[in-house]
Amino acid sequence: MGKLEGKVAVITGGSSGMALASAKRFVEEGAYVFITGRRQESLDEAVKLIGRNVTGVRGDASNLDDLDRLFNIVKREKGKIDILYASAGTGEAVHREVANALPSWEGKTVIDATNAFPVPEELDGLPSSAFVAKAFTGAKLVKGFNHLIAATLAADPIVEGGHRVVFLSSDDEDAIAPVADLAKQLGFAPVKLGKSDEGGALVHARGRTWGQLIFQDLFKKEQ
C-alpha cells in the first residue's frame, strides 16, 4: 500500500514542470489527483502521462470562476481534499477562494510552491506563506519547490552522483517530514530551513527583496 493510499490531492498548474512530476508521484503512492492547466492540449498530455487516478480540469488558477468550477468538480467526484499543492495562482482573493472550497482544513497539508511579490505592507508584514496560511485555518502549510524555475525542477534531479536540493520551511515541524519524504521519492535532497519567518525567509520574495537562496541551484553529493 502506498503512503498516500486513499488520499485526494489537488495540484494547481499540474500539467507541467515540478507540479506534474509531483502529481505522477502522488498517484504512484496511491493518491487520486486533480490537476489544472490553461491549455487543453498540455492538460491532455499530462493526464496521459500520469495514466490513472487523475482528472484534468482546464482553467486558470488565478481566475476565481475557474477555481470555483475546479472545486465543484472535486466535491462532486470525491467529496474531499487531503492535499493541496499550490504551484499556480497568487493573491489574497485567490487564496480565500481556494480556502472556501472546504468547510475545514484541519489536518490537511498545503504545499505552497508559489512565489508572490506584493510589497510587505500588502501581506501585513508577513512572509508570503504565513499570509497564505491565514486563509487555511487548521492546515499544515509547507513552503517548498519554489526557489527554482519550473524547467529546472522538472529536469532530472540526479546529476553526477548528487541530488538537486529543494528547500522546505514550515511553522509546523511535523508537517515537513512527509513533504521531505515526497521530495526524496522524487529524487531531490530536501533541506529543512525551519520556520517561515526564520530560515524560510531565505526563499521568500518580499517586495523587491529576494531571499538569498532563490535561484540557487545546489546539489547534495551522495555519501
Domains: count for the chain = 1
pLDDT band at 159 (very low <50, low <70, confident <90, very high): confident
Residue 121 has pLDDT above 80, yes or no: no
Contact, 25 vs 182, CB < 8 A?
A: yes
Residue 150 has pLDDT above 90, yes or no: no
- Per-residue CA distances from 15 to 33, 156, 193, 216 (Å): 12, 17, 28, 24
Domain assignment present for residue 27? The answer is yes
**Residue % of the chain over a pLDDT of 70:** 87
Higher-confidence residue: 3 or 120? 3
Give the domain CATH number at 75: 3.40.50.720
Distance in angstroms (rounded) separating the CA atoms of residues 24 and 201: 29
Residue type (1 letter), 117:
F
Higher-confidence residue: 196 or 117? 196
Domain assignment present for residue 108? The answer is no
Residues recorded for the chain: 223
pTM, 2 dp: 0.74
What is the extent of the structural domain holding 65? 1-103
Residue 102 has pLDDT above 50, yes or no: yes
pLDDT for position 57: 95
- Per-residue CA distances from 34 to 56, 149, 194, 218 (Å): 6, 22, 30, 31
Higher-confidence residue: 63 or 202? 202
